[in-house]
Amino acid sequence: MFSEKAVQKLDPLHLSIQYALFREACRYKDGKVLMIDVNEEHCSAQPENSLILKPWDGKADDDLVRLIPFLEYLANQPLKDIRPIMNTFDKTNIIEEFDKREKILREKWYEENKHKMQGSNLIGKVFSTLMGVESISATGNTGPKMPLDIMREHGQRGYENMQNWVKANSKQLLEEEQKLKEHFGKVSLNQVLEGKAQPSPEDIAKAQEAMKKEQN
């Protein structure tokens, strides 16, 4: 009961949490899943693909935000099983360790692609001179980008687009959800006993289609 209220508060439009599976239903086997928790006992059945964070003490911290680059990297790996990657990390300090690895990888990548960046900067300076605008320095956003940076920018653009869409459509979505609740809210005792208390996907689709016709 409390979990359902928390999910409703966190994601009232059901955009991020489309299917809420609570503790009694969380049995997902042989999938690309990373379990993040603050209690090691909760992950005893899947220690290799789990990540234990320190419990939140009520004070401001940015651990979850700092974890995003690692999660982006993990999600973009062309692997079905993330355990071999997880086993290469010290899970007690995974945020700092990933930062160090990314720094080393970035330095190596820039060293290997230095000639490409220099060529790109030269073209940019010539173009800027011809156009009469200020050129971007070699330390700016010029030259080829690391694959990690491209993936990160793509994810950020997708997130921004989703946020803009939510702002533009949230009122309509909430109104539709409320109409669906009212449409399916009246459940008789016989329906409960017969196992028909919950609407089927077909019933929901028909109700949504009917609401669209009413709006048009």
Identify which of 11-15, 123-127, 196-200 has the greatest average pLDDT. 11-15
Say what the pTM is. 0.55
Phi and psi dihedrals of 97, rounded to 5?
A: -65, -40
The average pLDDT across 46-51 equals: 88
In the beta sheet, which residues pair with residue 52? 37
- 176 vs 132: which has the higher pLDDT: 176
Q: What angle do CA 159, 160, 163 make, to 5 degrees?
A: 85
pLDDT bin (cut points 50, 70, 90) of residue 186 is low
SS3 37: strand
Mean per-residue pLDDT, 137-147: 58
Mean pLDDT of 151-158: 84
With 50 as the cut, is the pLDDT of residue 128 above it?
A: no
pLDDT tens profile 21-40: 666 666 666 667 888 999 99
Average pLDDT over residues 53-58: 87
Distance CA 213, CA 67 (A): 45
Under a CB-based contact definition with an 8 Å cutoff, are residues 91 and 51 in contact? yes
Alpha-carbon gap, residue 5 to 20, rounded angstroms: 11
Please say whether the beta carbons of 74 and 89 come within 8 A: no
| CA distance linking residue 97 with residue 55, whole number of Å | 20
Whether the pLDDT of residue 156 is over 70: the answer is yes
For residues 141 and 111, the answer to whether their CB atoms sit within 8 Å is: no
Strand (E) or helix (H) holding 96: helix 94-112
Residue 108 has pLDDT above 80, yes or no: yes
CB atoms within 10 A of CB 51: 19
Band of pLDDT at residue 41, cut at 50, 70 and 90: very high
